[in-house]
Amino acid sequence: MKKKILFGTLILGLVAFQYETNYEGKFISYHQLEKLNTSGGITSQTGAPGEQNCTGCHAGSVQDGNNGINLLTIDGTSGNTFEAGEVLTMNLTLTDATSKNGFQLVVLDENNEMAGSFTITDSQRTQLRQNNQLGRQYVTHTAAGTSSNSWNFEWNTPEEAGTYMFYLASNRTNANNGSSGDIVHLSNHTFIGEGEDNTTNVKSISKNDFSTSFNYLSELNQFKLEIENSELANITLNIIDIQGKSMFFRDLGTFTPGDHSEIIPIQETLNSGIYIATIFFNNRPVSHKFSVN
């Protein structure tokens, strides 16, 4: 009997330690965690680089939210560019919502570091959470906010021009007061800060361990992607329109170190307008802005 009690205590201790390391370094019991999930999940569940997603607590499926289910806009407009240093009102809308919904999001720069900061403007339905170990700040729902499918908050943007990526996990629950049967939608949303040092229209972008060159061949309806990488990498390509809707997504697979040239045909028709091509190099995003005439 004593061995069983000690074993049970050990398991509970391990669970408590897991949640302690995941949530701001604080001890959280199982019942506290269950309550927190209703009023805003534990941090680092957005699917961003180095993070998990909501299925760590919700035994549901993960689906793509880039197909218009997770809509993130600047003040409800269709644009995704801003002047660096602005304070923006952001709106998140879940188009495939139920009677009980949840979300968590974070915004990172091209080095996967926190970009700017958030200000809560509707404390009844949204709140901030902080992961001090990762140095990341999150916006998530409150208990009252789960009855909504649309939330607003402010983003205090960085002073520097650049490409910034919102990583978003939304939870479409079945409201059964349990963790089963829920659907988690993961999405990435690119926003571009413009300023005197803006380089977002440059077609070739280099990093320390990789470089990319991107061209859209309109007459062939193809993408030409050239990659030079110094380490093994999984590479994916996501094309979004100016409203943030994903128009094309392709997992290109794993690339060995070296120079690579890829011709990627698409079946989708891109109408005239501005688009953002984001190449993910082991989850590190690099974005190219291009136009279709």
Give the containing element (helix H, strand E) for 21: helix 2-22
Mean pLDDT over each residue of the chain, to the nearest integer: 75
Q: How far is residue 178's CA from residue 241's CA, in Å, rounded to a whole number?
A: 37
User: 201: closest CA among 82, 288, 84, 293?
Assistant: 288
* CATH 3.40.309.10 at 204-292, yes or no: no
pLDDT given for residue 175 in this prediction: 61
Helix or strand or coil: residue 144? Answer: helix
Domain(s) of CATH 2.60.40.2550: residues in the chain: 204-292
Half-sphere exposure of 284 (CA within 13 A, CB side): 16
pLDDT of 29 higher than 70? no
Which range is most confident: 76-85, 139-148, 195-204, 259-268?
Answer: 139-148
pLDDT of 222 higher than 60? yes
Q: How far is residue 120's CA from residue 41's CA, in Å, rounded to a whole number?
A: 16
Give the containing element (helix H, strand E) for 63: strand 59-64
Which residues have CB under 8 Å from 27's CB, separation 6+? 16, 19, 20
Contact, 201 vs 289, CB < 8 A?
Answer: yes
Which range is most confident: 37-41, 131-135, 150-154, 198-202?
Answer: 150-154
In this predicted model, what pLDDT tens digit does every residue of 48-103 receive, in sequence order? 887 866 655 554 566 777 777 889 999 878 788 899 999 999 999 998 888 888 89
User: 250: closest CA among 229, 222, 231?
Assistant: 222
Distances (CA, A) of 125 to 29, 40, 103, 120, 148: 24, 10, 11, 9, 8
Whether this prediction's pTM lies above 0.85 is answered by: no
What kind of fold does domain 39-194 have according to CATH? Immunoglobulin-like (2.60.40)
pLDDT given for residue 10 in this prediction: 33
